[in-house]
Amino acid sequence: MEKRVMLVDGMALLFRAFYATAMSNYYMINSKGVPTNAVYGMVKHLFTAARVYEPTHIVACWDMGSKTFRNDLFESYKANRSAPPEEMIPQFDLAKEVTEALNIPNVGMAGYEADDCIGTLSSHYREEAEVMILTGDQDMLQLLQPNVSVLLLKKGYGNYAEYTEDRLKEEKGITPRQLIDLKAFMGDSSDNYPGVKGIGEKTALKLLHQYESIEGILENIDSLTKGQRSKIETDLEMLHLSRDLAEIRCNAEVSHPLEEAFFDVKEERMAEKFNELEFRNWRKNLI
């Protein structure tokens, strides 16, 4: 049987599900006073994707705390992020309990982000299986390589933008590796690092099409316009730092044997957990 492993960006699914219902104050609070809207929606995303793509194996990856090696590189990394809403906080642990009840292993590592765990596992698994990364985060497109695709969640349930290396090349004219350099120039306001001030996506793409990489651009800096050269020279240190922050690590010390990720839901264990959380109509709406 051909192995098809789905690596799930747990945080991306959880936050997406939370905000989809929180906007209308629908938190699905159960009789114990615990909100469950994010976990319920996450499970729905998970089962929907499993129906569409029929993975043989599933692994869920998570952030383990807010501080990572990127904060050591740049103190202000993600410093602009506000604390999660209070209705969200109890759902982080609940989400992992639910995936466990579905026989899906949870993987995370202190000091790294879920992205780094996904990057590392995708590099391991692609040797023996087709790898699909389920996320809402476009940064994951840098992980595209032979045997690795990215499924970007779109609005609603069951809608995905499916990316391969070829599709990325068609759309943006660049490789996954060049995406990291693109982000180094553009910076990332949500992660709170600036890149090169005054160089946006359009200019950065043009330079990468012409010179291929940051190194190629720097080697030809005398060929750039005066404005481009001045901006890059002013923020040269930040350009290199931004690239370091943007790059998803594929060498984190994290592993999980593929055979232990076989997707095989035990009905009884799942029912017990869903009923404990008081998921309404879950047989009809989730599975």
Closest CA to 168 of 189, 149, 195, 187: 149
Report phi then psi at 61, rounded to 5: -115, 145
pLDDT at 276 over 90: yes
CA atoms of 80 and 76, how far apart (whole Å):
8
Q: What is the mean pLDDT of residues 155-161?
A: 91
pLDDT at 65 over 90: no
CA atoms of 111 and 94, how far apart (whole Å):
22
Pick the more confident residue, 141 or 67: 141
Closest CA to 224 of 245, 243, 204: 204
Q: Percent of the chain, pLDDT > 70?
A: 100
| 3-state percent helix, strand, coil for the chain, nearest multiple of 5 | 50, 15, 35
Distance (Å) of CA 226 to CA 103, 209, 223, 230, 231: 58, 19, 9, 6, 9
CA atoms of 183 and 139, how far apart (whole Å):
9
Three-state DSSP string of 170-192: HHHCCCHHHHHHHHHHHCECCCC
pLDDT tens-digit profile of 183-222?
999 999 888 888 999 999 999 999 999 999 999 999 999 9
Strand-pair partners of 133: 7, 150
pLDDT at 287 over 80: no
DSSP-assigned letter for residue 133: E
Q: What is the pLDDT, as a whole number, of residue 82?
A: 81
Q: What is the mean pLDDT of the chain?
A: 93
Look up the pTM and report it.
Answer: 0.95
CA atoms within 13 A on the CB side of 216: 11
* CB-CB contact of 76 with 24 (8 Å): no
pLDDT tens-digit profile of 74-128?
888 888 888 888 999 999 999 999 999 999 999 999 999 999 999 999 999 999 9
DSSP string covering 247-279:
SPPS--S----GGGGB----HHHHHHHHHHTT-
Binning pLDDT at 50, 70 and 90, where does residue 286 land?
confident
* CB-CB contact of 249 with 111 (8 Å): no
pLDDT tens-digit profile of 24-44?
778 899 999 999 999 999 999
Q: Where are the beta strands (DSSP E) in the chain?
A: 4-9, 57-61, 106-107, 130-135, 148-153, 160-163
CA atoms of 206 and 229, how far apart (whole Å):
14
* CB-CB contact of 36 with 279 (8 Å): yes
Domains and CATH numbers, the chain: 4-168+248-285 (3.40.50.1010), 171-246 (1.10.150.20)
